[in-house]
C-alpha cells in the first residue's frame, strides 16, 4: 500500500535530531469503555511553529487534544515538554505548564464582562479584593495585542462568535501560554473574520507562541500551517510538510482512499419550474426575497453568515411566520402555515443543525427516517403504528443513501456527521410527495470523504428530477455543485449568476454590502 | 435499490433487554404483597379493595402526568385543579343539581383549568411550564378558597350519588375498574399509536419534532387539557370518599403523581419511560400506603418511606451504568 511509503518518508522528516521541539508525544494510547480512542499516536511541535492536526470526524483529534491539555490521562505513551517528561493530572497542570486550548464552541460566561471571562480563575486580588481597574487595563492590553474592536467591559454574550473566540485567545495569553491549541476556530466564522483570525495566529507565532491548529478546512491549513499531522481511525498516519504534499495525497491520508471527483455533478436535463417564491419577507430577517428552482436543477444560495438565508427558508417552510410573500410549487400557489403544510406541498427542509433540528440523536435511525410519514402508513382510526412497513421503508431509504450503519436500530448519535446527514436525506426521501429539497449547509462539519458522498447523492437526486436549493457558505461546494447561484446580503437577494459566469470573487462581492449597487444596476 | 457499496441494513427486531425496569417493579410489587402478609394479619384481597378507593383517585392523574413528563413538560397545578373542581361540584350538589350535571361540572372545571394552562403555554412558548403552572396552582386554589368562604371547607349535602361512585361491584371498587380501563387506554395510545410516538419525539427533541412536521403545540395543549380533565376525574373520586372539600384538598397530589411516574421509570427530562412501568409503580405505592395504614402507621411516616423508595429507584439505573462501564473498560484493557 502506498500509505506505507508515505509513513516512512514522514518518519524521515520527523526524527531529525537538531530540531527545537517544545512539545513531543510518543506512543500515546487512550482507551475509553468499548473503544480505543487513540492508538499509538506520535506528535512533535517545534518552537514557534503552526502545526495543523487533521483527520476525519472521529479520527481522534479531540481526544488527542484532551490528552495534551490534561483532561484525559493516556493509558500508554510519554509526553515531553521542552525535553522533559511531564505527567498532567488535570487541565490545571497543563495550564500551569503553559498549554492553553481554545475550543470551537467557546466556553464562556455570557452574562459576565470580557475582563471577567479572561481572568476567570486567576483574578488579580489584593487584600482579598478584586482589582478591577488593573484587570481591565490588563485585559485591554491583551485585546490590543489581538487588535480587537471591543471593550474589556463589554458583556460577553453580546459579542459575535468571532469576538468571543478572540476573548478565548486573550484568556490563553493571559495565562502566559507558550502553546495554544485552536480547535476548529474558523468553523463558525465568515471569510472576513477567518482572515482576521489568520493574522492573529500568525502574529502569535511571530511572538514565539507555538500553535496547534485543528480544522476541517483545507484552506485554513494551507494559509497557516507549515506542517500537518494526520490521524485516521485513532491511528497516527504521518506528519508532512505542507508545501511538499499534494492536496490529493493529503485527502488520501485522511480518508484512506482516493477521491477521484469531489463534485460529481451529472449532466441533467433541466425541466420546468418546480419551486418559486415571490416577495417573501420576515420581519427583521429578510425582505422581498424572490427566487425559483427548476426540476433537476441545483440552485445555490450563498451569502455571509447572518445574511438571512436560513431565516428566509424557515419562513417558507412554516417554521417561522412570513409577513408577506407567495410560494408556488409546480406553478400552483401553496399556503404554508406550519411545517406539516410545507411537507404536504412537497417542500422539505433539511435543517442546518442535524443534531438539534434534523435527528433525534438517542433514537434508532429507522424511527428517525419514518417520523414524518408515520401517520400516512398508520393503521385504523386510532393511527396504530405500522411497524413492519416502517422498518421496510427505513431500510430502503437508508440503503439508498448508503448509510454506514448495521441495523435500523443504531442510534443517531453513533454515526459520524456525514452519515447523520445521509439519514436526514433518507428521512426527506421517504416523503413520497417531495418535489423540492432545501438543504441548509448540507456539509457543515462533515469530513472530506463523506462530503464527496453527499455531493454524489445530491447529483443523483437532481437526476431523479427533484428541485434542489442548497444554502451554503462554502464557496468550493457552491461553485462545484450549483447550476445557478443566488447571493443574499442583509436579508435581500443581491444577485443571480449562472454557473458559467460565477467566480468566487464575483460571489463574495455580491455577498458584501456594496453588492446592492449591482442589483440596482441590473434592474 | 441497495446502496452503491451494496451495504445492507438489518431490520430484524432486536431482542428486549434482559433486565427491564418494569421487571424490577413487579418484584417490588410482589415484595410489598409478601411484606403485607407478614406484618398485617388483616391483609387480604378484601381489605385491600376496601381501603383502595381512598388512595386510588390520584392514579387517574398519573397517566396524564406520564404524558406531560414524556413531552418534557411539567404541570404542578393539578392538585389545585382537584381542589377547585371538588369545591365547584360541592356547590352544584348543594344547589340540588342532578348527579349528571355535577359530574359534568366536575370534569368541566378540570378541563377548563387545563385549557387555561395549555393556552398560556402554547401562546407564550418561551415561558417555562414549571412557573406558569406554579402561578395557576396558586390561582386555582385561591379561587377555591375564596369560594369556600371563611369556613375553609364545604361538604356535599346529598351524598347518595357520590357514595355510589365510591362503591363496589362485588368486592371490586368501581374506581379500580375505571383505573384499569384508563390504564389500558392510556398505555395503548402511548405505546401503540403514532400519537404516542409523537409525544416521545417532542420530549426527546422538540425542534426536530417540529421540523419533522409534528404539530408540537397542538399536542402540548392537548396534554394539558387532558391532565386537567383527569384532575376532574380525580376530584370526583375524592368526593366519593371524603364527601367534601377543604383548603388542603388535593395538596401535594402533583408531587405524588410525579413520584409515581418517576418511580415507574419516566424521566422528567422527557422522551423516556412508559406508562406500564408507571402503572405498576402507582399500584405499588397505593398498595404500600394501604399496608402501612393497616398497621396504623402515620401518613408522615408513609411519606418518608415513599421518598426513600423514589430516590433508590432513580439511583439504581445510574449505579447499573457505572458497573457496566467499568466492566467494558476492564474487558478492553484485558484485550489490549
Q: Given CB atoms, is A356 within the 8 Å cutoff of chain B?
A: yes
- Asked if the model's pLDDT at residue B308 lies above 80, the reply is yes
- pLDDT of A9: 40
Facing residue for B5 by CB, picked from A29, A394, A402 = A402
Angle at A521 between CA A515 and CA A523, to 5 degrees: 110
Q: Would you call B189 and A375 a contact, using CB atoms and an 8 Å cutoff? A: no
Q: Would you call A367 and B211 a contact, using CB atoms and an 8 Å cutoff? A: no
Q: Given CB atoms, is B322 within the 8 Å cutoff of chain A?
A: no
Range of the domain at A418: 359-432
The tens digit of pLDDT for each residue in B238-292 reads: 999 999 999 999 998 999 999 999 989 898 899 999 999 999 999 999 998 888 8
Q: Give B178's Cβ-side CA count (13 Å radius).
A: 20
d(CA A406, nearest CA chain B) in Å: 5
Q: Would you call A360 and B205 a contact, using CB atoms and an 8 Å cutoff? A: yes
Q: Residue B182: in which H helix or E strand, if any?
A: helix B174-192
CB interface of B with A, residues 171-200, below 8 Å: 188-189, 192-197
What is the rounded distance in angstroms from the CA atom of residue B119 to the CA atom of residue A416?
40
Facing residue for A319 by CB, picked from B210, B215, B326 = B210
- pLDDT of A325: 93
- pLDDT of B1: 41
Q: Is position A34 within any domain? A: no
CB interface of A with B, residues 392-421, below 8 Å: 392, 394-396, 398-409
Q: Give B271's Cβ-side CA count (13 Å radius).
A: 13
Burial A81-119 (b: 16+ CB within 10 A, else e): beeeeeebeeeeebbebbbbbbbbebebeeeebbbbbbb
Q: Would you call A360 and B201 a contact, using CB atoms and an 8 Å cutoff? A: yes
Q: Are A362 and B271 in contact (CB under 8 A)?
A: yes
d(CA A419, nearest CA chain B) in Å: 13
B83 Cβ neighbours under 8 A, 6+ residues apart: B140, B141, B144, B235, B245, B247, B249, B250, B251
Look up cell 481591565; give the residue.
A136
Q: Given CB atoms, is B334 within the 8 Å cutoff of chain A?
A: no
Exposed, middle or buried, B19 (CB in 10 Å: 0-12/13-18/19+)?
A: exposed
What is the rounded distance in angstroms from the CA atom of residue A242 to the CA atom of residue A223?
10
The tens digit of pLDDT for each residue in B117-127 reads: 999 999 999 99
Q: Would you call A359 and B208 a contact, using CB atoms and an 8 Å cutoff? A: yes
Angle at A294 between CA A291 and CA A296, to 5 degrees: 140
Would you tell me the crossing angle of helices A247-255 and A2-14 to the nearest 10 degrees? 110
ipTM (interface predicted TM): 0.86
d(CA A2, nearest CA chain B) in Å: 23
Chain B residues with beta carbon closer than 8 angstroms to that of A408: 9-11
- pLDDT of A4: 42
> How far is the CA of A409 from the CAs of A362, A415, B15, in angstroms?
10, 12, 11
Q: What are the strands, taking DSSP E only, across A103-226?
A: 125-126, 129-130, 179-183, 210-214
B77 Cβ neighbours under 8 A, 6+ residues apart: B113, B117, B133, B134, B136, B137, B140, B254
What is the rounded distance in angstroms from the CA atom of residue B158 to the CA atom of residue A76?
81
By DSSP bridging, strand A273-282 and strand A324-329 are antiparallel
Q: Is position A264 within any domain? A: no
Q: Is position A25 within any domain? A: no
- Asked if the model's pLDDT at residue B131 lies above 50, the reply is yes
Facing residue for A31 by CB, picked from B1, B271, B336 = B336
Q: Would you call A407 and B14 a contact, using CB atoms and an 8 Å cutoff? A: yes
What is the rounded distance in angstroms from the CA atom of residue B245 to the CA atom of residue B238?
9
The tens digit of pLDDT for each residue in A20-38 reads: 889 999 999 988 776 788 9
By DSSP bridging, strand A50-54 and strand A210-214 are parallel
- pLDDT of B333: 67
Burial A322-348 (b: 16+ CB within 10 A, else e): beebebbbbeeebebebbbbbbebbbb
What is the rounded distance in angstroms from the CA atom of residue B281 to the CA atom of residue B313?
10
What is the rounded distance in angstroms from the CA atom of residue A168 to the CA atom of residue A188?
15
Most B CBs within 10 Å, among A28, A75, A343, A374, to test the B interface: A374
How does residue B2 score in pLDDT terms, banded at 50, 70 and 90? very low
Residue A318 DSSP code: T
Most B CBs within 10 Å, among A318, A337, A383, to test the B interface: A383
Q: What residue of B is the nearest CA neighbor of A374?
A: B194
Most B CBs within 10 Å, among A399, A401, A403, to test the B interface: A399
- pLDDT of A514: 55
Q: Is position A377 within any domain? A: yes
Look up cell 373542581; give the residue.
B85
Segments of chain A scoring below 50 in pLDDT: 1-17, 515-523
Cell, residue A297: 436543477
The tens digit of pLDDT for each residue in A326-380 reads: 999 999 999 999 999 999 999 999 998 898 999 999 999 999 999 999 999 999 8
What is the rounded distance in angstroms from the CA atom of residue A260 to the CA atom of residue A248?
9
Count CB-CB contacts under 10 A for residue A126.
Answer: 8
- pLDDT of A12: 39
Q: What residue of B is the nearest CA neighbor of A405?
A: B9
d(CA A463, nearest CA chain B) in Å: 16
Q: Is position A487 within any domain? A: no
Burial A477-505 (b: 16+ CB within 10 A, else e): bbbbbbbbbbbbbbbbbbbbbebeebeee
d(CA B336, nearest CA chain A) in Å: 9
Q: What are the strands, taking DSSP E only, across B128-284?
A: 153-155, 168-169, 172-173, 244-246
Beta bridge partners of A350: A439
Cell, residue A351: 435543517
Q: Is position A392 within any domain? A: yes
Q: What residue of A is the nearest CA neighbor of B188?
A: A384
Q: Which of A170, A158, A164 is nearest to A122 (CA)?
A: A170
Q: What residue of B is the nearest CA neighbor of A384?
A: B193
> Which domains, ranges and CATH numbers included, belong to chain B?
21-33+50-314 (1.10.3470)
Q: Is position A9 within any domain? A: no
Find the Cα–Cα–Cα–Cα dihedral A342, A348, A349, A353, rounded to 10°: 120
Q: Are B190 and B276 in contact (CB under 8 A)?
A: no
Chain B residues with beta carbon closer than 8 angstroms to that of A394: 11
Beta bridge partners of B246: B153
CB interface of B with A, residues 270-299, below 8 Å: 271
Average pLDDT over residues B82-91: 96
Which string of DSSP letters, residue by residue, matches A261-311?
A: -SS--------SEEEEEEEEEETTTEEEEEEEEETT-EEEEEE-TTSSHHH
CB interface of A with B, residues 485-504, below 8 Å: none
What is the rounded distance in angstroms from the CA atom of residue B297 to the CA atom of residue B287?
14
- The edge-to-edge listing of strands for the beta sheet with A347-350 is A347-350, A436-440, A467-471, A298-303, A484-489, A492-498
Q: Is position A385 within any domain? A: yes
Cα of first residue to Cα of last residue in chain A, in angstroms, is 58
Look up cell 518518508; give the residue.
A9
CB pairs under 8 A between A and B: 122
The count of domains in chain A is 1
Facing residue for B7 by CB, picked from A343, A371, A399 = A399
Q: Would you call B328 and A33 a contact, using CB atoms and an 8 Å cutoff? A: yes
Q: Are A185 and A197 in contact (CB under 8 A)?
A: yes
Angle at A368 between CA A362 and CA A370, to 5 degrees: 155
Count CB-CB contacts under 10 A for residue B117.
Answer: 30
Burial B260-293 (b: 16+ CB within 10 A, else e): bbbbbbbbbebbbbbbbbbbbbbbbbbbbbbbbb
Amino acid at each position: 500500500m502506498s500509505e506505507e511509503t508515505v509513513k516512512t518518508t514522514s518518519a524521515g522528516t520527523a526524527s531529525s535530531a537538531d530540531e527545537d521541539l517544545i512539545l513531543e508525544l510518543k506512543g500515546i494510547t487512550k482507551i475509553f469503555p468499548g473503544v480505543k480512542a487513540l492508538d499509538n499516536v506520535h506528535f512533535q511541535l517545534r518552537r514557534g511553529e503552526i502545526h495543523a492536526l487533521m483527520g476525519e470526524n472521529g479520527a481522534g483529534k479531540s481526544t488527542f487534544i484532551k490528552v495534551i491539555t490534561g483532561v484525559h490521562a493516556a493509558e500508554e505513551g510519554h509526553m515531553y515538554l521542552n525535553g522533559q517528561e511531564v505527567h498532567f493530572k488535570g487541565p490545571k497542570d497543563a495550564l500551569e505548564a503553559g498549554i492553553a486550548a481554545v475550543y470551537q464552541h467557546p466556553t464562556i460566561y455570557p452574562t459576565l464582562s470580557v475582563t471577567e471571562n479572561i481572568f476567570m480563575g486567576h483574578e488579580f486580588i489584593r487584600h482579598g479584593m478584586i482589582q478591577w481597574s488593573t484587570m481591565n487595563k490588563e485585559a485591554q492590553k491583551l485585546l490590543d495585542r489581538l487588535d480587537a474592536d471591543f471593550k474589556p467591559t463589554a458583556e460577553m454574550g453580546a459579542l459575535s462568535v468571532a469576538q468571543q473566540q478572540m476573548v478565548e485567545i486573550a484568556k490563553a495569553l493571559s495565562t502566559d501560554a507558550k502553546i495554544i491549541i485552536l480547535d476548529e476556530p474558523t468553523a463558525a466564522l465568515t471569510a472576513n473574520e477567518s482572515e482576521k483570525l489568520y493574522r492573529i495566529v500568525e502574529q502569535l507565532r511571530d511572538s514565539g507562541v507555538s500553535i496547534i491548529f485543528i480544522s476541517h478546512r483545507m484552506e485554513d491549513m494551507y494559509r497557516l500551517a507549515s506542517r500537518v499531522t494526520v490521524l485516521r481511525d485513532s491511528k497516527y498516519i504521518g506528519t508532512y510538510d505542507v508545501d511538499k504534499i499534494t492536496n490529493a495525497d493529503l485527502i488520501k491520508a485522511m480518508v484512506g482512499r482516493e477521491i477521484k471527483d469531489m463534485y460529481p455533478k451529472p449532466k441533467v436535463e433541466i425541466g420546468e419550474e418546480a419551486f418559486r417564491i415571490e416577495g417573501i419577507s420576515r420581519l427583521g430577517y429578510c425582505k422581498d426575497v424572490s427566487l425559483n428552482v427548476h426540476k433537476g436543477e441545483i440552485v445555490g444560495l450563498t451569502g455571509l453568515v447572518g445574511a438571512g438565508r436560513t431565516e428566509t427558508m424557515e419562513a417558507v417552510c412554516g417554521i417561522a411566520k412570513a409577513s408577506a410573500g407567495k410560494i408556488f410549487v409546480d406553478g400552483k400557489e401553496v399556503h404554508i402555515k406550519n411545517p406539516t403544510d410545507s411537507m404536504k406541498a412537497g417542500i422539505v427542509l433539511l435543517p442546518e443543525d442535524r443534531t438539534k433540528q434534523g435527528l433525534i440523536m438517542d433514537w434508532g435511525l429507522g424511527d428517525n427516517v419514518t417520523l414524518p410519514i408515520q401517520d400516512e402508513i398508520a393503521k385504523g382510526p386510532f393511527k396504530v403504528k405500522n411497524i413492519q412497513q416502517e422498518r421496510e421503508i427505513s431500510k430502503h431509504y437508508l440503503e439508498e443513501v448508503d448509510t454506514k450503519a448495521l441495523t435500523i436500530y443504531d442510534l443517531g448519535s453513533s454515526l459520524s456527521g456525514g452519515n447523520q446527514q445521509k439519514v436526514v436525506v433518507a428521512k426527506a426521501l421517504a416523503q413520497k410527495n417531495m418535489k423540492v429539497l432545501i438543504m441548509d449547509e448540507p456539509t457543515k462539519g462533515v469530513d472530506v470523504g463523506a462530503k464527496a458522498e453527499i455531493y454524489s447523492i445530491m447529483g443523483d437526486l437532481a437526476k431523479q428530477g427533484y428541485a434542489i436549493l442548497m444554502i451554503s457558505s462554502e464557496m468550493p461546494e457552491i461553485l462545484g455543485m450549483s447550476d445557478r447561484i443566488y447571493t443574499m446580503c442583509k436579508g435581500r437577494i443581491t444577485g443571480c449568476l449562472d454557473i458559467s459566469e460565477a467566480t468566487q470573487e464575483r460571489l463574495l462581492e455580491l455577498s458584501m454590502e456594496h453588492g446592492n449597487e449591482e442589483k440596482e444596476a441590473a434592474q | 435499490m441497495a446502496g452503491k457499496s451494496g451495504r445492507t441494513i438489518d431490520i430484524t427486531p432486536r431482542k428486549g433487554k434482559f433486565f427491564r425496569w418494569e421487571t424490577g417493579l413487579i418484584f417490588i410489587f410482589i415484595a410489598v404483597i409478601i411484606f403485607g402478609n407478614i406484618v398485617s394479619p388483616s391483609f387480604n384481597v378484601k381489605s385491600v379493595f376496601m381501603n383502595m378507593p381512598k388512595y386510588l383517585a390520584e392514579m387517574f392523574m398519573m397517566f396524564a402526568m406520564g404524558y406531560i413528563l414524556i413531552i418534557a413538560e411539567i404541570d404542578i397545578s393539578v392538585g389545585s385543579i382537584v381542589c377547585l373542581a371538588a369545591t365547584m361540584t360541592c356547590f352544584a350538589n348543594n344547589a340540588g343539581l342532578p348527579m349528571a350535571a355535577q359530574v359534568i361540572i366536575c370534569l368541566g372545571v378540570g378541563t377548563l383549568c387545563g385549557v387555561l394552562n395549555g393556552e398560556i403555554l402554547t401562546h407564550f412558548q418561551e415561558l417555562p411550564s414549571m412557573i406558569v403552572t406554579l402561578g395557576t396552582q396558586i390561582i386555582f386554589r385561591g379561587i377555591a378558597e375564596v369560594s369556600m368562604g371563611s369556613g375553609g371547607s364545604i361538604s356535599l349535602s346529598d351524598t347518595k350519588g357520590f357514595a355510589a361512585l365510591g362503591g363496589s361491584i362485588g368486592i371490586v371498587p368501581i374506581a379500580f375498574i375505571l383505573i384499569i380501563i384508563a390504564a389500558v387506554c392510556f398505555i395503548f395510545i402511548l405505546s401503540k399509536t403514532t400519537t404516542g410516538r409523537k409525544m416521545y419525539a417532542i420530549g426527546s427533541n422538540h425542534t426536530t419534532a417540529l421540523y419533522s412536521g409534528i404539530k408540537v403545540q397542538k399536542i402540548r395543549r392537548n396534554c394539558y387539557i387532558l391532565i386537567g380533565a383527569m384532575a376532574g376525574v380525580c376530584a370526583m373520586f375524592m368526593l366519593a370518599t371524603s364527601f367534601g372539600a377543604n383548603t388542603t384538598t388535593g395538596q401535594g397530589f402533583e408531587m405524588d403523581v410525579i413520584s409515581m411516574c418517576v418511580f415507574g421509570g419516566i424521566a422528567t427530562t422527557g422522551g423516556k419511560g412508559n406508562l406500564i412501568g408507571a402503572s405498576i409503580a402507582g399500584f405499588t405505592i397505593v398498595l404500600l400506603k394501604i399496608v402501612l395504614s393497616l398497621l396504623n402507621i402515620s401518613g408522615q411516616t408513609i411519606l418518608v418511606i415513599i421518598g426513600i423508595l423514589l430516590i433508590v429507584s432513580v439511583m439504581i439505573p445510574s449505579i447499573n451504568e457505572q458497573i457496566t462501564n467499568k466492566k467494558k473498560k476492564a474487558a478492553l484493557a484485558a484485550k489490549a
